[in-house]
Amino acid sequence: MSNAIAERFRTELRSDLEHKRLVLPTLPEVALRIREVVDDPKASMPQIARVVATDMALSARIIQIANSPLMRATRTIETLDAAIARLGMKLVRELVTSLSMSQMFQATSDVTDKRLRALWEHSVQVAAISHALASRFTKLKPEQAMLAGLVHDIGALPIIAKAEETPELLENEAALDEVIHTLHAEVGRAILEAWNFPPELVAVPSGHEELKRNSPTPDYVDVVTVANLQAYVGTDHPLTKLDWSRIPAFSKLGLNPEVNVVEMTETAEQIREVQGLLSA
């Protein structure tokens, strides 16, 4: 019975996605406005500061990041304008998007609360590991890698929201897990395309699931692929049972599959720092 319900749900969701009826999450208002301002060639730092300043908590976190060990700064700054000047407009855009995303993982029922909380915690962990991997093993932008990690499973959000209309599926965790597993990648791609994210990030939701993928040079998909696997170290997740030495993303980053990045001296503190910033 549960299989029939799950299959019907899958068919409906794919149809909704194909005909653009599926309700996709939207970026928080402040993130949308910042992305619009930064993408405007005539934008100025004071304009960005005015938008960020509309959210006091966000402003405080931007200042905190500007003074954090991640920026390797020696002089403490206390104003939002100075923080944005230190970070740069494009970096602020990625940070504001990342820092505001937790708003999207708010549950509307007790049944989905636990699931969404676990999804957010996993996304934050993958984001933090992605930041560290990009910083230490590639020439990619760490903050872009962090954002890629945060959105790698974003496709699960509208699936969970739609499942609330099908109580039988919502109550069957295994069936819902299977639906999310089979559909979240294509839904995630649709979301990031709707958000006008760059192609290298749009590729992440589906790309990180293709473990045999082997592009010519290391990219954000490779970083998130490795970070996602590393996030499961020490658990009984099925992905931990695979032979990671056969996954090209590790060799492309020059990383030994047996190394636990979370515990590496060079990356452990950085990962904790990013997790703390995103979880605050």
Give pLDDT tens digits for 236-255.
999 999 999 999 999 999 99
Neighbours of 251 (CB within 10 A): 15
In this structure, the dihedral spanned by the alpha carbons of residues 98, 102, 103 and 109, taken in order and rounded to 10 degrees, is 160
- pLDDT per residue over 58-91, tens digit each? 999 999 999 988 887 778 999 999 999 999 988 9
Domain 2-279 in CATH: superfamily? Answer: Hypothetical protein af1432 (1.10.3210.10)
Q: Apex CA 201: angle with CA 219 and CA 105, to 5°?
A: 130
In terms of Cβ atoms closer than 10 Å to its own Cβ (0-12, 13-18, 19+), residue 142 is: buried
Q: So what's the pLDDT on residue 2?
A: 61
Q: What residue ranges do the domains of the chain occupy? A: 2-279
H/E run at residue 161: helix 156-163
- pLDDT per residue over 105-115, tens digit each? 988 788 889 89
